[in-house]
Structure 1
Amino acid sequence: MKPSLVLKMGQQLTMTPQLQQAIRLLQLSTLDLQQEIQEALESNPMLERQEEGDDFDNSDPLADGDELPNPGSQEVSFQDAAPTVETLEDGEWHERIPSELPVDTAWEDVYQTSASSLPSSDDDEWDFTSRTSAGESLQSHLLWQLNLAPMSDTDRLIATTIIDCIDNNGYLEESLEEILESFDPELDIELDEVEVVLHRIQQFEPAGVGARDLRECLTLQLRQLPADTPWLDEAKRLANDYLDLLGSRDYSQLMRRMKLKEDELRQVIELIQSLNPRPGSQIEASEPEYVVPDVVVRKHNDRWLVELNQEAVPRLRVNPHYAGFVRRADSSADNTFMRNQLQEARWFIKSLQSRNETLMKVATQIVEHQRGFLEYGEEAMKPLVLHDIAEAVGMHESTISRVTTQKFMHTPRGIYELKYFFSSHVSTSEGGECSSTAIRAIIKKLVAAENPKKPLSDSKIAGLLEAQGIQVARRTVAKYRESLGIAPSSERKRLM
Structure 2
Amino acid sequence: MRQSLQLKIGQQLTMTPQLQQAIRLLQLSSLDLQAEIQEALDSNPLLEVETDNEALPSEAEASPETSATDTSQQETSDVINNDQLPDDLPVDSSWDDTYTSSTPGSSSSGSGQSFDGDGESYQGETSESLQDHLLWQMRLSHFSDEDEAIAEIIIESIDDTGYLRTDTDDIVAALNNPEIGVEEVNMVLNRLQQFDPVGVAARSVSECLIIQLRQLFADHQLKPAAIELIEQHLDLLGNRDYRTIMRKMKVTEPQLKEILQLVQQLQPHPGDAIAQKPVEYVIPDVSVRKKQGRWMVELNPDSVPRLKVNEEYAALSKSTKNAADNQYIKSHTQEARWFIKSLESRNETLLKVANFVVQRQQGFFEHGEEAMKPMVLNDVAEAVDMHESTISRVTTQKFLHCPRGVFELKYFFSSHVNTEAGGECSSTAIRALIKKLVAAENPAKPLSDSKIAELIAEQGIKVARRTIAKYRESLNIASSSQRKSLI
What is the TM-score with the length of structure 2 in the denominator?
A: 0.83
1:288 aligns with 2:279: yes
Partner of 1:225: 216
Task: Give the distance between the partners of 1:249 and 1:362, measured in 2 at CA.
Answer: 48
Task: Give the distance between the partners of 1:135 and 1:418, measured in 2 at CA.
Answer: 32
> Which one of the candidate residues 125, 129, 137 is aligned to 2:129?
137
**Aligned partner letter, 1:414:** G
Partner of 2:35: 35
Structure 1 portions without partners, runs of 5+: 57-70, 77-129
Contact 1:135–1:287 (CA<8 Å) still a contact in 2?
Answer: no
Task: Give the distance between the partners of 1:10 and 1:194, measured in 2 at CA.
Answer: 81
Partner of 2:452: 461
Taking the TM superposition and a 5 Å limit, the aligned residue runs for 1:33-432 are 33-52=33-52, 72-74=56-58, 135-184=127-176, 186-229=177-220, 231-327=222-318, 332-432=323-423
Task: Give the distance between the partners of 1:463 and 1:226, measured in 2 at CA.
Answer: 45
Contact 1:318–1:345 (CA<8 Å) still a contact in 2?
Answer: yes
CA offsets 1:8-44 (integer angstroms, 9 cap, x no match) = 2221111111111111111111111111111111110
Task: Give the distance between the partners of 1:204 and 1:221, measured in 2 at CA.
Answer: 11
**Aligned partner letter, 1:9:** I
Partner of 2:65: none
Task: Give the distance between the partners of 1:46 and 1:219, measured in 2 at CA.
Answer: 67
CA shift for structure 1 position 278 = 1.4
When residues 336 and 403 of structure 1 are mapped into structure 2, their CA distance, relative to the original with a 3 A threshold, is: same
**Aligned partner letter, 1:2:** R
Task: Give the distance between the partners of 1:137 and 1:173, measured in 2 at CA.
Answer: 17
Contact 1:452–1:492 (CA<8 Å) still a contact in 2?
Answer: yes
CA shift for structure 1 position 334 = 1.0
Equivalent pairs, count:
426
CA offsets 1:430-457 (integer angstroms, 9 cap, x no match) = 1111111111110111111112111111
* Stretch moving more, 385-394 or 320-329: 320-329
**Aligned partner letter, 2:58:** Q
Partner of 1:489: 480
CA shift for structure 1 position 179 = 2.0
CA offsets 1:355-398 (integer angstroms, 9 cap, x no match) = 11111101110100111111111111110101111111111111
Task: Give the distance between the partners of 1:312 and 1:301, measured in 2 at CA.
Answer: 25
CA shift for structure 1 position 478 = 1.0
CA shift for structure 1 position 144 = 2.3
Task: Give the distance between the partners of 2:221 and 2:413, measured in 1 at CA.
Answer: 49
* Stretch moving more, 486-495 or 467-476: 467-476
Task: Give the distance between the partners of 1:284 and 1:398, measured in 2 at CA.
Answer: 39
Contact 1:50–1:315 (CA<8 Å) still a contact in 2?
Answer: yes
Partner of 1:475: 466
Task: Give the distance between the partners of 1:440 and 1:390, measured in 2 at CA.
Answer: 25
CA shift for structure 1 position 133 = 7.2
When residues 467 and 208 of structure 1 are mapped into structure 2, their CA distance, relative to the original with a 3 A threshold, is: same
Task: Give the distance between the partners of 1:395 and 1:329, measured in 2 at CA.
Answer: 45
Partner of 1:126: none
* Stretch moving more, 235-244 or 1-10: 1-10
Task: Give the distance between the partners of 1:373 and 1:204, measured in 2 at CA.
Answer: 49
Contact 1:169–1:280 (CA<8 Å) still a contact in 2?
Answer: yes
Q: Secondary structure at the match of 1:325?
A: helix
Task: Give the distance between the partners of 1:429 and 1:232, measured in 2 at CA.
Answer: 55
**Aligned partner letter, 1:170:** G
Contact 2:131–2:156 (CA<8 Å) still a contact in 1?
Answer: yes
Contact 2:376–2:415 (CA<8 Å) still a contact in 1?
Answer: yes
Contact 1:318–1:346 (CA<8 Å) still a contact in 2?
Answer: yes
CA shift for structure 1 position 148 = 2.1
CA shift for structure 1 position 233 = 2.7
**Aligned partner letter, 1:8:** K
Task: Give the distance between the partners of 1:168 and 1:401, measured in 2 at CA.
Answer: 37
Contact 1:75–1:356 (CA<8 Å) still a contact in 2?
Answer: no
CA offsets 1:213-272 (integer angstroms, 9 cap, x no match) = 111111111112143435223222211222122112121222223232211211110111
Q: Secondary structure at the match of 1:327?
A: helix
Partner of 1:5: 5
Contact 1:380–1:438 (CA<8 Å) still a contact in 2?
Answer: yes
Task: Give the distance between the partners of 1:310 and 1:136, measured in 2 at CA.
Answer: 35
Q: Secondary structure at the match of 1:192?
A: helix
Task: Give the distance between the partners of 2:198 and 2:2, measured in 1 at CA.
Answer: 89
Q: Secondary structure at the match of 1:182?
A: helix
Partner of 1:107: none
CA shift for structure 1 position 193 = 0.9
**Aligned partner letter, 1:474:** R
Task: Give the distance between the partners of 1:4 and 1:306, measured in 2 at CA.
Answer: 59
The alignment-based identity, stated in percent, is 60
CA shift for structure 1 position 134 = 5.2
Task: Give the distance between the partners of 1:131 and 1:265, measured in 2 at CA.
Answer: 36
**Aligned partner letter, 1:148:** L
When residues 465 and 396 of structure 1 are mapped into structure 2, their CA distance, relative to the original with a 3 A threshold, is: same
When residues 15 and 329 of structure 1 are mapped into structure 2, their CA distance, relative to the original with a 3 A threshold, is: farther
- Which has the larger Rg? 1
**Aligned partner letter, 1:182:** A
Task: Give the distance between the partners of 1:325 and 1:229, measured in 2 at CA.
Answer: 82
What is the TM-score with the length of structure 1 in the denominator?
A: 0.82
Contact 1:455–1:489 (CA<8 Å) still a contact in 2?
Answer: yes
CA shift for structure 1 position 483 = 0.9
For the aligned residues, what is the CA RMSD?
2.1
Task: Give the distance between the partners of 1:492 and 1:212, measured in 2 at CA.
Answer: 27
